[in-house]
Every structure is written in structure tokens, then in C-alpha cells.
């Protein structure tokens, strides 16, 4: 908000989206608009401030499950990557497992900050979860973080017996940019043929560099929580070049894959007024057209990250219930 109580242009644009927001989420949406206005326009000068604000986020206390930190080797001479291993139980049983990648627009966020929610999921499904602390853009290009997340998946697969994991029931999962990483990881695993991925769970995934570059939503849509300007900066940092061009590396962008055939079954959830709604719906349609079983859930009136700020809201409970059911079907639980 500008001095004198007037709204900035960015806040005015986001406020135009409030009539489209689920009534239960409107209070949270107003707070998000006010809190995020100081980070725009998104760019190198604002990135340290954004990262510092996110790093201060406090996770609520949750019942403990075993959590271990390990360093896994990364291929192509890229050193090691930190992994958080949750709920390992080397008791002779073979449980399902999830390789998780955190969100943050490729430019911020942390696996550590997601531990609380992952602990809940690990307890609910009695599964092992490995979360990858991949390097952020722009300091690390897409090729580095892709190799790091793949290294986490490969480590999980190779350590399955010691962790109490069933190699045939390994999923990849993530939210926002983490969903984009998970989609890339599923494709990389398919192409390399070393690790059979059984399922991919993508929550409002960031899949297409053209969103916010060569395509923008109608006014009032896709402007709360994460908008076109932020998306353009996140992709530029990740790709190392201007997004939306024909010659961006297609290996770095899930939506630009020539073929989605042979990918694992997918669950995709997105809010109807999320910036990513169009690209996520299109990706689910492409999966289906390629013979890949895909479940798509579009939450009415939900903006980007709605479930994080209002976990008790009806739409948040809906997506969590649908996600749990999808995991149970995929894992045969």
C-alpha cells in the first residue's frame, strides 16, 4: 500500500480478483495482496527480501516421525545434494515412498520449511518421504536442480531395502514450482530408464514458461499469490534466458515436452483462479490424450497456495482428501 493509504497498481490489479475468490478465502486473499505487494515488481533487487521473509515462516508443532539428513551424490560432477528422509522403518516391511520437491517459483523456498506437512502425510499413509534441498535459481540453472532432484530419486531407489521401501511403489510429488520439478523428474526417469516411477502428484504445478510471457489470463484472474510478472521472472531465472521464446530448452519445461506417453499416472489439482489453471488443465488433457491415467481437480474460487494459508477451508479440505485418495489408489492401500 502506498503512503496515504492508497493502493499500488499491483494491489489494485490483485484486488480486482477478489470477486472471483471463494468467500471463505477472501480474508486470506486480502492479507496476501497486502503482504506480497512489497515484493513487486519481482526481480533481483527484491529476491533477497523475499527469501528472508519466507525463511522466517514458522512451521507448527507436529507429532514427530523419524527425520534424518543425508547427502547424496549428484551425477555429472555436481557434488552432493541434501536430502531429508522421513519415516524410514527398516523393519522388513516394504512401504510406499514419495520423492518430494518443494515450491517457491524456482527462486525461493526450502525443503526444510515443508517438513511439517510432509510429516503429516508420512504418518497418514505410513510411507517414507524423501525431500530434496535442490539449489535455487538464478544461482543454479535448471540443469543443476534437475540433476539434484534426480539424484534424490536414484538414492531413494537404491536405498529402498534399507529404508523399508517397496521399489514398485515410488511416487514423485510437489507443489507449485515443486510440482514442475516433479513433472520434470517423472519425464527424466522415463527417459533414463533407471527408476520406475509409479505415480506423480502435482499440486498447482508450474509447468509452462509461456504463462505470463506470451499468454496472460483475463483481468482479475491469476493475480493472487503468484502472478504473471512473478512467473516471468521465476522462469527467466530458471532457464537463464527470456521465457516464452520458441528456442527455450524444452527439457526444462514440462509443458513443452514433445511426448507425454509412458509417464506415470498423475493427480493434478489447481484452483480455478490460479495463474496455473490453464496450463495445468492443458497438461492433464495432454496426459489423457497420451494414454496416461490422469485425475484433474479444479477447485472453484481458489487462488495459488490457498491450502497453505487456509488449511481448514472447504476447498483445502477437498484437495487434501482427494490427494490422499489418489495416493491410496496408486499405492494400493
Q: Which residues are catalytic?
A: 176, 274, 304
Q: What is the DSSP string of 223-289?
A: -SSS-HHHHHHHHHHHHTS-TT-TTS-GGG-GGG-S--TTPPPEEEEEETTSTTHHHHHHHHHHHHH
Q: Evaluate whether 184 touches 172 at the Cβ level (below 8 Å).
A: no
d(CA 280, CA 204): 7
The residues that bridge with 285 in the sheet, in sequence order, are none
DSSP assignment, residue 22?
-
Q: Evaluate whether 222 touches 123 at the Cβ level (below 8 Å).
A: no
d(CA 164, CA 126): 11
Amino acid at each position: 500500500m502506498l503512503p496515504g493509504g492508497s493502493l499500488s497498481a499491483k494491489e489494485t490489479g490483485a484486488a480486482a480478483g477478489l470477486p472471483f475468490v471463494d468467500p471463505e478465502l477472501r480474508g486470506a486473499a486480502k492479507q496476501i495482496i497486502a503482504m506480497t505487494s512489497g515484493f513487486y515488481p519481482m526481480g533481483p533487487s527484491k529476491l533477497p527480501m523475499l527469501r528472508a521473509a519466507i525463511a522466517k515462516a514458522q512451521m507448527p508443532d507436529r507429532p514427530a516421525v523419524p527425520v534424518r539428513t543425508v547427502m547424496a551424490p549428484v551425477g555429472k560432477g555436481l557434488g552432493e545434494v541434501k536430502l531429508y528422509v522421513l519415516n524410514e522403518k527398516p523393519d522388513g516391511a516394504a512401504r510406499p515412498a514419495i520423492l518430494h520437491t518443494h515450491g517457491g517459483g524456482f527462486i525461493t523456498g526450502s525443503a526444510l520449511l515443508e517438513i511439517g506437512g510432509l510429516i503429516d502425510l508420512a504418518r497418514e499413509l505410513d510411507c517414507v518421504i524423501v525431500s530434496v534441498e535442490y539449489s535455487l535459481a538464478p544461482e543454479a540453472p535448471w540443469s543443476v536442480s534437475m540433476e539434484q532432484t534426480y539424484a534424490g530419486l536414484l538414492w531413494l531407489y537404491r536405498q529402498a531395502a534399507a529404508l523399508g521401501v517397496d521399489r514398485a511403489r515410488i511416487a514423485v510429488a510437489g507443489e507449485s514450482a515443486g510440482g514442475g520439478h516433479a513433472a520434470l523428474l517423472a519425464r527424466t526417469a522415463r527417459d533414463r530408464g533407471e527408476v520406475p516411477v509409479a505415480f506423480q502428484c502435482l499440486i498447482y504445478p508450474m509447468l509452462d514458461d509461456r504463462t505470463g510471457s506470451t499468454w496472460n489470463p483475463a483481468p482479475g484472474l491469476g493475480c493472487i499469490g503468484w502472478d504473471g510478472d512473478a512467473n516471468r521472472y521465476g522462469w527467466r531465472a530458471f532457464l537463464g534466458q527470456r521465457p516464452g521464446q520458441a528456442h527455450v530448452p524444452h527439457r526444462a519445461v514440462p509443458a513443452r515436452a514433445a511426448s507425454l506417453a509412458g509417464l506415470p499416472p498423475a493427480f493434478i489439482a489447481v484452483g480455478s483462479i490460479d495463474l496455473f489453471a490453464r496450463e495445468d488443465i492443458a497438461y492433464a488433457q495432454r496426459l489423457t490424450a497420451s494414454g496416461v491415467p490422469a485425475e484433474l481437480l479444479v477447485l472453484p474460487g481458489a487462488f495459488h497456495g490457498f491450502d497453505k494459508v487456509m488449511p481448514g477451508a472447504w476447498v483445502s479440505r477437498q484437495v487434501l482428501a482427494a490427494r490422499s485418495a489418489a495416493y491410496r489408489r496408486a499405492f494400493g492401500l
